[in-house]
Amino acid sequence: MGTCHNRLRADGIWSEVAALLTRAVRCQRIRPAEPSIVILDSQSIVSGPQAGNNGTSALTHSEDSRQA
């Protein structure tokens, strides 16, 4: 089963099936086959590593600034 599933996924068959089923359900519900808008939530987008100093805020003081 795993081999067949992996082959179908690698060939893009599952993506095509999902797209066809989505269009069919949307048409059945009297909606356009393709959505006209996309909403993205910033928490649902994975970003790569960020540059800069992580873990400190502008309101915290470093050890060096307290000694000066």
Name the pTM for this structure: 0.47
Cα separation of 48 and 40, whole Å?
17
Cβ atoms of 14 and 8 closer than 8 Å: yes
| Cβ neighbours around 23 below 10 Å, total | 14
Domain ranges in the chain are 1-31
The per-residue pLDDT for range 12-67, each reduced to its tens digit, is: 999 999 999 999 999 999 998 888 888 877 776 666 676 666 555 555 555 555 55
